Amino acid sequence: METISIAKNFSIYPGGRVKEDGPYSGQLFKEQFLIPILKDLKQVIIDLDGTRGYGSSFLEEAFGGLIRDGYPKSQILTSFKFKSSDQSIIDEINEYIDAAAKRSTK
Protein backbone atom coordinates (compact mmCIF):
# COMPACT_ATOMS: atom_id res chain seq x y z
CA MET A 1 0.00 0.00 0.00
CA GLU A 2 1.28 3.45 -0.94
CA THR A 3 2.29 5.77 1.89
CA ILE A 4 1.88 9.52 1.94
CA SER A 5 4.03 11.22 4.51
CA ILE A 6 2.66 14.62 5.45
CA ALA A 7 6.13 15.75 6.54
CA LYS A 8 7.91 14.56 3.41
CA ASN A 9 5.25 15.06 0.74
CA PHE A 10 3.45 18.14 2.05
CA SER A 11 5.14 20.13 4.83
CA ILE A 12 6.70 19.75 8.24
CA TYR A 13 4.63 22.81 9.21
CA PRO A 14 1.08 21.90 8.28
CA GLY A 15 -1.32 24.43 9.73
CA GLY A 16 -4.48 26.41 9.37
CA ARG A 17 -7.91 25.43 8.21
CA VAL A 18 -8.34 27.16 4.86
CA LYS A 19 -5.88 28.43 2.26
CA GLU A 20 -6.13 32.02 3.50
CA ASP A 21 -4.77 30.88 6.89
CA GLY A 22 -1.39 29.74 5.61
CA PRO A 23 0.54 28.00 2.84
CA TYR A 24 0.01 24.45 4.17
CA SER A 25 -3.59 24.40 5.31
CA GLY A 26 -5.92 21.46 5.86
CA GLN A 27 -7.97 22.55 2.86
CA LEU A 28 -4.91 22.45 0.58
CA PHE A 29 -3.84 19.04 1.89
CA LYS A 30 -7.34 17.71 1.35
CA GLU A 31 -7.50 19.02 -2.22
CA GLN A 32 -3.95 18.08 -3.23
CA PHE A 33 -3.71 14.64 -1.66
CA LEU A 34 -6.89 13.24 -0.14
CA ILE A 35 -9.52 13.97 -2.77
CA PRO A 36 -7.45 12.57 -5.70
CA ILE A 37 -7.00 9.33 -3.73
CA LEU A 38 -10.74 9.08 -3.11
CA LYS A 39 -11.48 9.79 -6.76
CA ASP A 40 -9.05 7.06 -7.86
CA LEU A 41 -10.53 4.66 -5.28
CA LYS A 42 -7.03 3.95 -4.00
CA GLN A 43 -5.95 2.88 -0.53
CA VAL A 44 -3.06 4.68 1.13
CA ILE A 45 -1.36 4.99 4.47
CA ILE A 46 -1.20 8.53 5.77
CA ASP A 47 1.98 8.89 7.80
CA LEU A 48 1.47 11.66 10.34
CA ASP A 49 4.93 11.55 11.93
CA GLY A 50 7.76 13.99 11.35
CA THR A 51 5.90 17.30 11.40
CA ARG A 52 6.23 20.06 14.00
CA GLY A 53 2.79 19.19 15.32
CA TYR A 54 -0.82 19.51 14.22
CA GLY A 55 -3.46 22.02 15.02
CA SER A 56 -6.96 20.62 15.38
CA SER A 57 -8.28 23.06 12.76
CA PHE A 58 -5.94 21.52 10.16
CA LEU A 59 -7.03 17.97 11.06
CA GLU A 60 -10.71 18.85 11.14
CA GLU A 61 -10.69 20.59 7.77
CA ALA A 62 -8.57 17.96 6.03
CA PHE A 63 -10.49 14.90 7.22
CA GLY A 64 -13.85 16.12 8.52
CA GLY A 65 -13.95 18.35 5.45
CA LEU A 66 -14.05 15.29 3.19
CA ILE A 67 -17.49 14.43 4.58
CA ARG A 68 -18.69 17.99 3.96
CA ASP A 69 -17.40 17.64 0.40
CA GLY A 70 -19.72 14.67 -0.06
CA TYR A 71 -17.45 11.66 0.44
CA PRO A 72 -19.01 8.90 2.54
CA LYS A 73 -17.44 7.91 5.84
CA SER A 74 -17.13 4.27 4.73
CA GLN A 75 -15.09 5.24 1.67
CA ILE A 76 -12.83 7.52 3.72
CA LEU A 77 -12.18 4.81 6.29
CA THR A 78 -11.48 2.27 3.53
CA SER A 79 -9.15 4.53 1.58
CA PHE A 80 -7.07 5.87 4.46
CA LYS A 81 -5.10 4.08 7.14
CA PHE A 82 -3.27 6.26 9.59
CA LYS A 83 0.20 5.84 11.03
CA SER A 84 1.47 7.92 13.93
CA SER A 85 3.59 7.50 17.02
CA ASP A 86 0.99 9.71 18.72
CA GLN A 87 -2.28 7.78 18.96
CA SER A 88 -4.13 10.90 20.12
CA ILE A 89 -3.83 12.39 16.61
CA ILE A 90 -5.39 9.34 14.97
CA ASP A 91 -8.17 9.32 17.56
CA GLU A 92 -8.83 12.98 16.89
CA ILE A 93 -9.02 12.47 13.11
CA ASN A 94 -11.51 9.62 13.58
CA GLU A 95 -13.52 11.83 15.92
CA TYR A 96 -13.77 14.57 13.25
CA ILE A 97 -14.80 12.10 10.57
CA ASP A 98 -17.48 10.67 12.88
CA ALA A 99 -18.75 14.09 13.96
CA ALA A 100 -18.94 15.42 10.40
CA ALA A 101 -20.71 12.24 9.26
CA LYS A 102 -23.29 12.60 12.06
CA ARG A 103 -23.86 16.25 11.19
CA SER A 104 -24.30 15.41 7.51
CA THR A 105 -27.04 12.86 8.22
CA LYS A 106 -29.08 15.30 10.31
Which residues would be at the binding site for other proteins (CB under 8 A)? 13, 15-18, 20-22, 52-58, 60, 85-88, 91-92, 95
Instruction: Check: CB of residue 76 under 8 Å from CB of residue 67.
Output: yes
CA distance 1 to 22: 30
CA distance 81 to 5: 12
Give phi and psi for 32, each to the nearest 5: -80, -35
Least distance to other proteins from the beta carbon of 1, Å?
26
Closer to other proteins by Cβ: residue 13 or 78: 13
Least distance to other proteins from the beta carbon of 86, Å?
5
Least distance to other proteins from the beta carbon of 38, Å?
24
